[in-house]
């Protein structure tokens, strides 16, 4: 999809007609779907590449990309073709039987991660839950931690999903309020504080769980060398380094994995989002055999995990990543985005953090809130979303053009100019 100027996006009228298709869909959704999200007031109906169209016919540059689930854009022809082919053959068998898609997918994803085995699941949260189970079971069966005493060290400001166990170690009060009693077995330390992490590890520690870059927190990048320090510490203390690459992985940061920026290979990768190509939920845990072999028949499972349709799509994603094209695009487009936004620091933006084609933009509170900027971007034909008040996250699909990135920067410049 090629770039488009603001006049072509059909700038949205802030006063949407009360009986429009948009209002009808918003009213229907708000009436019958639980209010666990606070969406921007736009109703999308189709997408192609980096662009989407709403029910009124207006087009928008998608700069959220499903929180990195749409790294390859909307309806990538190669992925759609593979999914359609498999849809006509076989979609589900359950793991009660073998299927002809899982083995090739597992082999090639293992090769991509440099690991010996994968354990396929569906959602990112399931991958994290699975990794927690694997780490605990490894701690008891391999490391020799006394039963019921295993602990995992996690990071303040983390986001790993919204299941009961995962929110038990969240520091976001909105995510945790009124969900107690919380699951025990976790310690929290400040993200990027190596001394605090080192002090938290003891004989009960089986894993250190972290995002190489904290996405939900606003694209927070750890200090240089931090991941290397964590890797060395985990090795010396016989603790599993568990990297949640669900948002940061699969070319988003300009490398296949965010850990690659420090030449770090964790003991466990958690993968999801882009692994399904934006078409289907696919997630996985990847680790060597001495870790994943603790999972035995009956000790873990999923009806849909590793189904033929998921495996076929995931396998195609792996093949696309093996070319290096998308990693390179993230580097080039990310540098363009970083340069454009950096020029606006001090003119309405307080700070810009970028790694590949992923950015966290802190908004000057004297100008606007993150929500207000997201709404202003919407009016200019750009879809983005605030993160924790004063930050806006940007993650355009990796198939975006240079013109698209310039359009995004121009929209921010227009907002900053008032």
Q: What is the pLDDT of residues 306-357, one digit of tens each?
A: 999 999 999 999 999 999 999 999 999 999 999 999 999 999 999 999 999 9
Q: Which structure tokens are listed for 16?
A: 């949407």
Domain spans in the chain, listed from the N-terminal domain onward: 6-32+46-75+325-416, 77-321
pLDDT category at 7 given cuts 50, 70, 90 is very low
Helical residues (DSSP H) of 88-192, grouped into ranges: 102-113, 124-138, 164-167, 173-176
d(CA 339, CA 354): 10
pLDDT tens by residue, 57-76: 999 999 999 999 999 999 99
Question: Topology of domain 77-321, per CATH?
Answer: 3.40.640
pLDDT value at position 398?
A: 98
Rounded to 5 degrees, φ, ψ at 8 are -85, -15
| pTM for the predicted model, two decimal places | 0.95
List active site positions: 159, 244, 273
Strand order in the sheet with 51-54: 44-48, 51-54, 59-62, 382-383
d(CA 343, CA 347): 8
- Shortest CA distance to 228 belongs to which of 268, 271, 194, 256? 194
Strand, coil or helix: 278: coil
pLDDT category at 389 given cuts 50, 70, 90 is confident
Residues whose CB is less than 8 angstroms from the CB of residue 211 and which lie 6 or more positions away in sequence, other chains included: 155, 158, 159, 160, 243, 244, 245, 247, 248
3-state SS record for 200-245: HCCCCEEEEEECCCECCCCCECCCCCHHHHHHHHHHHHCCEEEEEC
Query: Cβ–Cβ contacts within 10 Å for residue 149, how many?
Result: 12
pLDDT value at position 388?
A: 83
d(CA 282, CA 3): 30
6-32+46-75+325-416 is classed CATH 3.90.1150.10: yes
């Amino acid at each position: 999809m090629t770039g488009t100027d603001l006049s072509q996006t059909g700038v949205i009228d802030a006063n949407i007609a009360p009986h429009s298709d948009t209002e009808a869909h918003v009213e229907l959704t708000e009436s019958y779907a639980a209010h666990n999200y606070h969406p921007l007031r736009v109703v999308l109906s189709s997408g192609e590449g980096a662009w989407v169209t709403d029910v009124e016919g207006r087009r928008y540059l998608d700069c959220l990309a499903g929180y990195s689930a749409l790294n390859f854009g909307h309806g990538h022809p190669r992925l759609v073709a593979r999914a359609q082919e498999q849809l006509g053959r076989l979609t589900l068998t359950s793991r009660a039987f073998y299927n002809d898609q899982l083995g090739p997918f597992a082999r090639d994803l293992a090769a991509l991660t440099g690991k010996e085995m994968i354990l396929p699941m569906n959602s990112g949260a399931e991958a994290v839950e699975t990794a927690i189970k694997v780490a605990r079971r490894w701690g008891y069966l391999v490391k020799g931690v006394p039963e019921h005493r295993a602990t995992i060290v996690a990071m303040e400001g983390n986001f790993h999903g919204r299941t009961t166990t995962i929110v038990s170690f969240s520091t976001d009060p909105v995510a945790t309020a009124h969900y107690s009693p919380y699951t025990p077995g976790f310690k929290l330390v400040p993200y990027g504080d190596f001394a605090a992490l080192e002090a938290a590890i003891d004989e009960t520690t089986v894993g250190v769980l972290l995002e190489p870059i904290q996405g939900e927190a606003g694209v927070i990048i750890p200090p240089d060398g931090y991941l290397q320090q964590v890797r060395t510490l985990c090795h010396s203390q016989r603790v599993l380094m568990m990297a949640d690459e669900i948002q940061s992985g699969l070319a988003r940061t300009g490398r296949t994995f965010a850990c690659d920026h420090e030449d770090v290979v964790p003991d466990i990768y958690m993968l999801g989002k882009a692994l399904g190509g934006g078409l289907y939920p696919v997630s996985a845990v990847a680790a060597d055999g001495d870790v994943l072999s603790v999972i035995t028949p009956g000790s873990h499972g999923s009806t849909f995990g590793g189904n033929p349709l998921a495996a076929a799509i995931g396998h195609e994603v792996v093949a696309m990543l093996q070319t290096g094209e998308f990693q390179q695009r993230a580097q080039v487009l990310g540098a363009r985005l970083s340069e454009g936004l950096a020029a606006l620091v001090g003119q309405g933006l307080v700070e810009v953090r970028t790694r590949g084609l992923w950015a966290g933009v802190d908004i000057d509170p004297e100008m606007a809130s993150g929500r207000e900027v997201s709404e202003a971007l919407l009016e200019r034909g750009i879809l983005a979303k605030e993160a924790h008040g004063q930050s806006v996250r940007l993650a355009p699909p990796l198939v975006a053009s240079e013109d698209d990135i310039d359009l995004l920067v121009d929209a921010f410049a227009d907002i900053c100019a008032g």
